[in-house]
Amino acid sequence: MNAIDASYQVLLQAKTPLRYEEITKKVLNGNLWSTGGITPHRTIYSKLAMDIKILGAKSRFVRTAPSTFGLREWGLIDFNVDEVVPPEESEIEKQKYSFTDAAEIVLDTLADKKPMHYNDIADQILELELVNTQGKTPEATLYSMILTEINRNEKRGKASRFVKYGQGIFGLRKWLGEGLAYQIERQNEHVKKELSERIKKLKPQEFELLIGRLLIKMNFVDVEVTKISGDGGIDIRGTLVVGYVIRTKMAIQAKKWKNNVQSPVVQQVRGSLGAHEQGMIITTSDFSKGAVEEAARTDAVPVALVNGQQLVELLIEHQIMVKRLSYELISLDDE
């Protein structure tokens, strides 16, 4: 019997909600479930909380009070149910996440709005089998991926899901409420919208020059904006250099469009590529499903796609048409 079924049997016999420690005690004393873990009570709590989080109204359990669980069939209502469309029952077993998505689930579900050390987050991720990993140091992988997401979003002026408190401690940004961080995020979102509107008002030649400038910041060399009479729809050519070793010739089409880019445009770019070139389309709008599928074809030369939202984030990351402001913030020292 697994932990979920064992907990159900205990509650069914108890006929009343119980704290997770009491559920664990009864499960173990009744030999309903066994575990090699040193914190079986945390495992039981995690399993029940995740069952409610993922299955929603289809879960057999409800949380009737902090750390206390009962059975939904008793007519009880979860005191903190998220209004989400529940997946199929089997999805709780099948669902797998990235390390960062799994970390968000653990913090959102189990942390009670208290930051956790990444080692503890990793333990819960593995205990709940939220990720598929064969790595020997999943905690190090988790730590690196969270930091990478925070740093990448910071460069793009975008609020990360995570907040780092130091010494390997992380929490969720949404716990901060409408404080200073919330105001900064609102300001940044406003600037992003303004930047997007300014880009759309550029003349075609100005837009192409802007993309050329961005490519140089992104480690492209030999960047050349082609003449308007052009070259089969190719607006810019350049070579992407990675680590001073890898050099990839790229042919870029810059589309200042309102409508989504369709698959024939991807085919046109691919047909205009020179020898050993790969393609890229950068647009102020977005791409149709057909265009995305066409660009990703495994039997053809790759064509990278950058939509309007990604373009704005890249411009912010490389501080083109925007500038990053820093202010000094002081706070009281608790010590």
Give the pLDDT confidence score for residue 56 in this predicted structure: 81
The sign of the CA dihedral 45, 47, 48, 52 is positive
Tell me the pTM: 0.55
Give the pLDDT confidence score for residue 70 in this predicted structure: 93
The sign of the CA dihedral 211, 213, 218, 224 is positive
Average pLDDT estimate for 43-56:
82
* Chain centroid to CA 43: 25
Please give the Cα distance from 310 to 328 (Å, whole number).
Answer: 30
Tokens matching residue 224: 């050349």
Q: Which helix (H) or strand (E) holds 242?
A: strand 236-242
CATH code for the domain defined by 99-175: 1.10.10
| pLDDT band of 86, cuts 50, 70, 90 | very low
Higher pLDDT, residue 79 or 317: 317
Give the pLDDT confidence score for residue 46 in this predicted structure: 79
Q: What is the pLDDT of residues 240-258, one digit of tens each?
A: 998 888 899 999 999 998 8
Give the pLDDT confidence score for residue 91 in this predicted structure: 40
Give the pLDDT confidence score for residue 128 in this predicted structure: 76
Please give the Cα distance from 196 to 193 (Å, whole number).
Answer: 5
| pLDDT band of 82, cuts 50, 70, 90 | very low
| pLDDT band of 157, cuts 50, 70, 90 | confident
Give the pLDDT confidence score for residue 335 in this predicted structure: 56
Q: Measure Cα distances from 213 to 9, 22, 152, 234, 314 in Å.
A: 65, 63, 20, 16, 12
328-334: list long-range contacts, CB under 8 Å, 24+ apart.
Answer: 329/180
DSSP letter for each residue of 103-146? HHHHHHHHSTT--EEHHHHHHHHHHTT-S----S-HHHHHHHHH
Give the pLDDT confidence score for residue 229 in this predicted structure: 46
Q: Which helix (H) or strand (E) holds 163?
A: strand 162-166
Boundaries of every domain in the chain: 3-94, 99-175, 199-317
Helix, strand and coil content of the chain, in percent to the nearest 5, comes to: 45, 20, 35
Residue with tokens 């709005």: 113
Give the pLDDT confidence score for residue 16 in this predicted structure: 93
329 pLDDT exceeds 80?
Answer: no
Fold entry, domain 199-317 = Trna Endonuclease; Chain: A, domain 1 (3.40.1350)
Give the pLDDT confidence score for residue 180 in this predicted structure: 66
Higher pLDDT, residue 2 or 16: 16
Higher pLDDT, residue 10 or 2: 10
| pLDDT band of 94, cuts 50, 70, 90 | very low
